[in-house]
Amino acid sequence: MKKLKVKQTTWNLKPLFKSDNDPQIKKHRKIVKKESYKFINKWSSRNDYLKSPKVLKQALDEYEKWISQYGAMGDEEAYFYLRYYQEQNNPKLKAGLGVVQNLSNEISNDIQFFMLRIARISQKEQSKFLEYKGLESYKHFLEIIFNESKYLLSEKEEKILNLKSVPAYENWVNMTEGILSKETREILDENGKRKNKNFSEILSLTTNKNKRLRNEAAKALNDIFYKNGDIAEAEMNAIMADKKINDELRGFARPDSSAHLNDDINSKIADNLVTASVKRFDISKRYYRLKAKLFKVKKLQYHERNVEYGDSIKKYSYQEAVDMVSNVFSKTDKEFADIFQKFVKNAQIDVYPKKGKSGGCFCFQHLMSQPTYILLNHTGKLSDIFALAHEVGHGINNELTKKENNALNLDGPSFTGEVSSKLMEAILFEEILNEKNEKLRLAAMMMKLNDQIIHVFMTAAENRFESEMHYNFREKGYLSKEEIGQLHKKYAIKYMGDSVSQTTGSENWWMHVSHLRRFFYNYQYSSGILIAETLKSYLKKDPNFIKQIKEFLSTGSELSPSDIFKNMGINIENKKIWNKGIDEIEELLNKTERLAKKLGKI
Does residue 372 contact residue 357 with C-beta atoms inside 8 Å? Answer: no
pLDDT for the residue numbered 569: 87
Does residue 441 contact residue 430 with C-beta atoms inside 8 Å? Answer: no
- Which residue intervals of 542-575 are DSSP H helices? 546-553, 561-566
pLDDT for the residue numbered 114: 96
CB atoms within 10 A of CB 2: 6
The DSSP bridge partners found for residue 363 are 374
Q: Give the integer Cα–Cα distance in Å for 129 and 121.
A: 10
Q: What is the DSSP letter of 502?
A: -
Does residue 409 contact residue 140 with C-beta atoms inside 8 Å? Answer: yes
pLDDT for the residue numbered 73: 79
Model confidence over 368-405: pLDDT tens digits? 999 999 999 999 988 899 999 999 999 999 999 999 88
The DSSP bridge partners found for residue 319 are none
Model confidence over 342-367: pLDDT tens digits? 999 999 999 999 988 998 899 998 89
Residue ranges for the chain with pLDDT beneath 50: none
pLDDT for the residue numbered 366: 86
pLDDT for the residue numbered 313: 56
Where are the chain's structural domains? Answer: 24-152
The candidate with the shortest Cα–Cα distance to 118, out of 52, 39, 185, is: 52
Q: Does domain 24-152 match CATH 1.20.1260.10?
A: no
Report yes or no on whether pTM surpasses 0.85.
Answer: no
Model confidence over 209-247: pLDDT tens digits? 889 999 999 999 999 999 999 999 999 999 999 999 999
pLDDT for the residue numbered 42: 98
Q: Give the integer Cα–Cα distance in Å for 134 and 216.
A: 63
